[in-house]
Amino acid sequence: MRLIACLLAAAALSAQSLPLAGLASVGFRVSDLAAARNFYSGLLGFEEAFAIRGPQGEIQRVAFKVNDEQFIELLPGLKPDQDQRLAFIAIQCTDLRRAHRLLVERGLKPSSIATRPDGNPGFWLEDPGGTRLEFLQYVAGSQQHRVRGKFLGTNRISDRLWHTGVVVLDLDAAMKFYATALGFRETWRGGPSEGELRWINMEMPGRGDYIEYMLASQPPTRQQLGSMQHICLQVPDIKAAYEKLRRRGLPDEPRYQPRIGRNGRWLANLFDPDGSRTEIMEPQPASAGAPR
Protein backbone atom coordinates (compact mmCIF):
# COMPACT_ATOMS: atom_id res chain seq x y z
CA MET A 1 0.00 0.00 0.00
CA ARG A 2 2.84 2.38 0.84
CA LEU A 3 4.45 1.72 -2.56
CA ILE A 4 1.17 2.39 -4.34
CA ALA A 5 0.73 5.62 -2.40
CA CYS A 6 4.23 6.75 -3.37
CA LEU A 7 3.60 5.96 -7.02
CA LEU A 8 0.32 7.86 -6.98
CA ALA A 9 2.00 10.84 -5.31
CA ALA A 10 4.78 10.85 -7.94
CA ALA A 11 2.22 10.67 -10.74
CA ALA A 12 0.23 13.54 -9.24
CA LEU A 13 3.40 15.63 -8.92
CA SER A 14 4.45 15.07 -12.52
CA ALA A 15 0.93 15.94 -13.68
CA GLN A 16 1.14 19.42 -12.18
CA SER A 17 2.01 21.97 -14.86
CA LEU A 18 4.86 24.32 -14.10
CA PRO A 19 3.51 27.85 -13.63
CA LEU A 20 5.12 29.26 -16.77
CA ALA A 21 4.01 32.12 -19.02
CA GLY A 22 6.43 31.53 -21.91
CA LEU A 23 9.71 32.72 -23.33
CA ALA A 24 11.01 35.87 -21.64
CA SER A 25 14.24 36.37 -23.57
CA VAL A 26 17.08 34.69 -25.41
CA GLY A 27 20.63 35.91 -24.98
CA PHE A 28 23.40 35.76 -27.58
CA ARG A 29 27.09 36.52 -27.15
CA VAL A 30 28.41 38.94 -29.78
CA SER A 31 31.89 40.02 -30.82
CA ASP A 32 30.99 43.51 -32.06
CA LEU A 33 28.12 45.19 -30.21
CA ALA A 34 27.80 47.99 -32.76
CA ALA A 35 27.46 45.51 -35.64
CA ALA A 36 24.98 43.42 -33.67
CA ARG A 37 22.93 46.52 -32.85
CA ASN A 38 22.77 47.29 -36.55
CA PHE A 39 21.30 43.83 -37.20
CA TYR A 40 18.79 43.55 -34.34
CA SER A 41 17.77 47.21 -34.33
CA GLY A 42 18.65 48.57 -37.78
CA LEU A 43 17.47 45.56 -39.79
CA LEU A 44 14.94 43.83 -37.51
CA GLY A 45 13.68 47.12 -36.08
CA PHE A 46 13.74 46.29 -32.36
CA GLU A 47 14.36 49.18 -29.99
CA GLU A 48 17.00 49.05 -27.28
CA ALA A 49 15.01 49.04 -24.03
CA PHE A 50 17.72 48.85 -21.37
CA ALA A 51 21.30 47.84 -20.64
CA ILE A 52 22.81 45.99 -17.71
CA ARG A 53 26.16 47.47 -16.66
CA GLY A 54 29.00 46.12 -14.54
CA PRO A 55 30.76 47.75 -11.58
CA GLN A 56 32.98 49.83 -13.87
CA GLY A 57 30.10 50.97 -16.04
CA GLU A 58 30.83 48.42 -18.75
CA ILE A 59 27.91 47.01 -20.70
CA GLN A 60 27.21 43.40 -19.76
CA ARG A 61 23.85 42.97 -21.51
CA VAL A 62 21.74 45.00 -23.90
CA ALA A 63 18.03 44.19 -24.21
CA PHE A 64 15.99 44.76 -27.37
CA LYS A 65 12.25 44.71 -26.88
CA VAL A 66 9.99 42.38 -28.87
CA ASN A 67 6.92 43.05 -26.71
CA ASP A 68 6.21 43.85 -23.06
CA GLU A 69 6.99 40.26 -22.04
CA GLN A 70 9.78 39.29 -24.44
CA PHE A 71 13.28 40.54 -25.24
CA ILE A 72 16.38 39.66 -27.24
CA GLU A 73 19.53 40.21 -25.20
CA LEU A 74 23.09 40.68 -26.45
CA LEU A 75 26.17 40.00 -24.35
CA PRO A 76 29.36 41.61 -25.71
CA GLY A 77 32.76 39.95 -25.40
CA LEU A 78 32.52 36.94 -27.73
CA LYS A 79 36.10 35.81 -28.47
CA PRO A 80 37.28 34.62 -31.91
CA ASP A 81 37.79 31.05 -30.67
CA GLN A 82 34.42 30.92 -28.85
CA ASP A 83 31.90 28.84 -30.79
CA GLN A 84 29.09 28.92 -28.22
CA ARG A 85 27.04 32.05 -28.90
CA LEU A 86 23.77 31.10 -27.20
CA ALA A 87 24.25 32.41 -23.66
CA PHE A 88 20.90 31.53 -22.11
CA ILE A 89 17.17 31.02 -22.61
CA ALA A 90 15.01 32.86 -20.07
CA ILE A 91 11.53 31.60 -19.21
CA GLN A 92 8.92 33.76 -17.53
CA CYS A 93 7.13 32.22 -14.52
CA THR A 94 3.80 33.21 -13.05
CA ASP A 95 4.78 31.74 -9.66
CA LEU A 96 8.56 31.48 -9.39
CA ARG A 97 8.72 29.84 -5.95
CA ARG A 98 6.22 27.16 -6.91
CA ALA A 99 8.15 26.46 -10.13
CA HIS A 100 11.36 26.11 -8.12
CA ARG A 101 9.71 23.77 -5.59
CA LEU A 102 8.23 21.55 -8.31
CA LEU A 103 11.58 21.22 -10.08
CA VAL A 104 13.31 20.24 -6.85
CA GLU A 105 10.58 17.69 -6.09
CA ARG A 106 11.09 16.23 -9.57
CA GLY A 107 14.75 15.54 -8.84
CA LEU A 108 16.35 18.52 -10.58
CA LYS A 109 18.87 20.82 -8.95
CA PRO A 110 18.02 24.43 -9.78
CA SER A 111 20.10 27.20 -8.23
CA SER A 112 18.76 29.09 -5.26
CA ILE A 113 16.33 31.93 -5.94
CA ALA A 114 18.18 35.25 -6.04
CA THR A 115 17.74 38.76 -7.39
CA ARG A 116 19.02 39.02 -10.95
CA PRO A 117 20.92 42.02 -12.37
CA ASP A 118 17.68 43.14 -14.08
CA GLY A 119 15.96 43.38 -10.68
CA ASN A 120 13.75 40.29 -10.99
CA PRO A 121 13.92 37.21 -8.76
CA GLY A 122 15.11 34.14 -10.59
CA PHE A 123 17.04 30.88 -10.65
CA TRP A 124 18.70 28.77 -13.30
CA LEU A 125 19.61 25.22 -14.28
CA GLU A 126 21.16 23.51 -17.29
CA ASP A 127 19.44 21.11 -19.66
CA PRO A 128 21.16 17.78 -20.49
CA GLY A 129 23.01 19.40 -23.39
CA GLY A 130 24.42 22.21 -21.26
CA THR A 131 22.02 24.97 -22.36
CA ARG A 132 21.45 27.43 -19.53
CA LEU A 133 17.78 27.98 -18.71
CA GLU A 134 16.98 31.01 -16.57
CA PHE A 135 13.61 31.19 -14.82
CA LEU A 136 12.35 34.60 -13.66
CA GLN A 137 9.24 36.42 -12.56
CA TYR A 138 8.74 40.06 -13.52
CA VAL A 139 8.29 42.34 -10.52
CA ALA A 140 7.71 46.05 -9.97
CA GLY A 141 10.91 48.07 -10.15
CA SER A 142 12.72 45.68 -12.49
CA GLN A 143 14.19 46.83 -15.79
CA GLN A 144 11.40 45.10 -17.70
CA HIS A 145 8.73 46.72 -15.53
CA ARG A 146 10.21 50.20 -16.00
CA VAL A 147 9.98 49.97 -19.80
CA ARG A 148 6.49 48.50 -19.89
CA GLY A 149 4.48 50.15 -22.66
CA LYS A 150 7.62 51.76 -24.12
CA PHE A 151 9.99 50.90 -26.99
CA LEU A 152 7.23 49.30 -29.05
CA GLY A 153 7.75 51.15 -32.31
CA THR A 154 6.21 50.19 -35.63
CA ASN A 155 9.61 49.30 -37.13
CA ARG A 156 9.62 45.94 -35.32
CA ILE A 157 9.64 43.12 -37.85
CA SER A 158 7.70 41.01 -35.33
CA ASP A 159 5.87 41.40 -32.04
CA ARG A 160 6.32 37.81 -30.84
CA LEU A 161 9.31 35.65 -29.98
CA TRP A 162 7.78 32.26 -30.81
CA HIS A 163 10.49 29.67 -30.21
CA THR A 164 14.19 29.05 -29.78
CA GLY A 165 16.39 26.11 -30.77
CA VAL A 166 18.61 23.94 -28.59
CA VAL A 167 21.13 21.31 -29.69
CA VAL A 168 20.14 17.79 -28.61
CA LEU A 169 22.67 14.97 -28.79
CA ASP A 170 20.76 12.60 -26.48
CA LEU A 171 17.05 12.51 -27.29
CA ASP A 172 16.08 10.29 -24.36
CA ALA A 173 17.78 12.62 -21.88
CA ALA A 174 16.16 15.66 -23.49
CA MET A 175 12.71 14.07 -23.28
CA LYS A 176 13.16 13.16 -19.62
CA PHE A 177 14.14 16.75 -18.91
CA TYR A 178 11.77 18.80 -21.05
CA ALA A 179 8.76 16.47 -21.31
CA THR A 180 8.80 14.60 -17.99
CA ALA A 181 10.35 17.14 -15.59
CA LEU A 182 9.33 20.45 -17.19
CA GLY A 183 6.05 19.24 -18.66
CA PHE A 184 6.64 20.45 -22.23
CA ARG A 185 4.42 18.84 -24.87
CA GLU A 186 5.54 17.58 -28.28
CA THR A 187 3.57 19.24 -31.09
CA TRP A 188 5.52 18.34 -34.25
CA ARG A 189 8.56 16.45 -35.48
CA GLY A 190 10.25 16.23 -38.87
CA GLY A 191 13.39 16.64 -40.91
CA PRO A 192 14.82 17.89 -44.22
CA SER A 193 13.48 14.83 -46.06
CA GLU A 194 10.73 12.27 -45.59
CA GLY A 195 11.61 9.76 -42.88
CA GLU A 196 14.51 11.82 -41.51
CA LEU A 197 14.15 13.10 -37.94
CA ARG A 198 16.08 16.27 -37.18
CA TRP A 199 13.63 18.59 -35.37
CA ILE A 200 11.09 18.20 -32.57
CA ASN A 201 8.91 21.04 -31.28
CA MET A 202 8.23 21.04 -27.52
CA GLU A 203 5.55 23.49 -26.39
CA MET A 204 5.86 24.85 -22.86
CA PRO A 205 2.96 25.61 -20.51
CA GLY A 206 1.62 29.13 -20.95
CA ARG A 207 0.97 31.09 -24.13
CA GLY A 208 2.22 28.46 -26.59
CA ASP A 209 5.92 29.35 -26.95
CA TYR A 210 8.17 26.39 -27.56
CA ILE A 211 11.65 24.93 -27.58
CA GLU A 212 12.81 23.27 -30.80
CA TYR A 213 15.13 20.29 -30.46
CA MET A 214 17.84 20.45 -33.12
CA LEU A 215 18.95 16.82 -33.20
CA ALA A 216 22.57 15.95 -33.91
CA SER A 217 24.53 12.70 -33.85
CA GLN A 218 27.80 14.49 -33.03
CA PRO A 219 28.84 17.91 -31.73
CA PRO A 220 28.07 20.50 -34.43
CA THR A 221 30.62 22.75 -36.11
CA ARG A 222 30.69 26.47 -35.36
CA GLN A 223 28.61 27.24 -38.44
CA GLN A 224 26.09 24.50 -37.66
CA LEU A 225 25.85 25.68 -34.05
CA GLY A 226 24.94 29.20 -35.17
CA SER A 227 22.07 27.85 -37.25
CA MET A 228 20.82 25.31 -34.72
CA GLN A 229 20.80 27.67 -31.72
CA HIS A 230 18.34 30.11 -33.22
CA ILE A 231 15.33 32.25 -32.41
CA CYS A 232 12.06 32.33 -34.34
CA LEU A 233 9.97 35.49 -34.71
CA GLN A 234 6.35 35.19 -35.74
CA VAL A 235 5.15 37.40 -38.61
CA PRO A 236 1.63 37.55 -40.09
CA ASP A 237 2.83 37.89 -43.69
CA ILE A 238 6.27 36.61 -44.72
CA LYS A 239 6.20 38.39 -48.07
CA ALA A 240 5.51 41.77 -46.48
CA ALA A 241 8.18 41.16 -43.84
CA TYR A 242 10.73 40.17 -46.47
CA GLU A 243 10.03 43.26 -48.58
CA LYS A 244 10.47 45.43 -45.48
CA LEU A 245 13.82 43.77 -44.76
CA ARG A 246 14.90 44.26 -48.37
CA ARG A 247 14.17 47.99 -48.11
CA ARG A 248 16.35 48.08 -45.00
CA GLY A 249 19.31 46.58 -46.80
CA LEU A 250 18.91 42.80 -46.67
CA PRO A 251 20.97 41.43 -49.60
CA ASP A 252 19.03 40.00 -52.52
CA GLU A 253 20.38 36.47 -52.14
CA PRO A 254 18.56 33.12 -52.45
CA ARG A 255 19.44 32.00 -48.89
CA TYR A 256 17.38 34.87 -47.43
CA GLN A 257 14.31 34.45 -49.62
CA PRO A 258 11.04 33.08 -48.16
CA ARG A 259 10.14 29.43 -48.71
CA ILE A 260 7.74 26.87 -47.31
CA GLY A 261 9.45 24.78 -44.65
CA ARG A 262 8.95 21.11 -43.85
CA ASN A 263 6.36 22.14 -41.25
CA GLY A 264 4.23 23.62 -44.04
CA ARG A 265 4.73 27.25 -42.98
CA TRP A 266 6.26 30.14 -44.88
CA LEU A 267 9.61 31.10 -43.36
CA ALA A 268 12.87 32.92 -44.04
CA ASN A 269 16.27 32.83 -42.33
CA LEU A 270 18.64 35.65 -41.43
CA PHE A 271 22.01 35.60 -39.65
CA ASP A 272 23.53 38.18 -37.32
CA PRO A 273 27.19 39.24 -37.81
CA ASP A 274 28.40 36.34 -35.60
CA GLY A 275 26.34 33.72 -37.46
CA SER A 276 23.44 33.31 -35.01
CA ARG A 277 20.24 32.60 -36.93
CA THR A 278 16.97 34.48 -36.74
CA GLU A 279 14.05 32.69 -38.36
CA ILE A 280 10.88 34.56 -39.27
CA MET A 281 7.78 32.43 -39.76
CA GLU A 282 4.07 32.71 -40.42
CA PRO A 283 1.87 31.15 -37.71
CA GLN A 284 -0.49 29.23 -40.01
CA PRO A 285 0.46 26.43 -42.44
CA ALA A 286 0.23 27.20 -46.14
CA SER A 287 -0.30 25.00 -49.15
CA ALA A 288 2.83 24.57 -51.27
CA GLY A 289 0.78 25.53 -54.30
CA ALA A 290 -0.79 28.60 -52.81
CA PRO A 291 -0.11 31.78 -54.83
CA ARG A 292 1.95 34.48 -53.14
Per-residue pLDDT, 194: 86
Per-residue pLDDT, 260: 94
Radius of gyration from C-alpha coordinates of the chain: 19
**Mean pLDDT for the chain overall:** 93
Q: Which amino acid is at 274?
A: D
Residue 267 pLDDT > 50: yes
Q: What is the pLDDT of residues 65-81, one digit of tens each?
A: 999 999 999 999 999 99
Q: How far apart are CA 184 and CA 179, in angstroms?
A: 5
Residue 286 pLDDT > 90: no
**pLDDT tier at 14, thresholds 50, 70, 90:** low
**pLDDT tier at 195, thresholds 50, 70, 90:** confident
Q: How far apart are CA 36 and CA 72, in angstroms?
A: 11
Residue 5 pLDDT > 60: no
Domains of the chain and any CATH numbers: 18-146 (3.10.180.10), 161-281 (3.10.180.10)
Residue-wise burial string across 4-20, b where 16 or more C-beta atoms lie within 10 A, e elsewhere? eeeeeeeeeeeeeebbb
Residue 56 pLDDT > 70: yes
Residue 3 pLDDT > 60: no
Beta-carbon count within 10 A of 276 CB? 24
Per the CB < 8 A criterion, the answer to whether 91 and 103 are in contact is: no
217 or 9: which carries more pLDDT confidence? Answer: 217
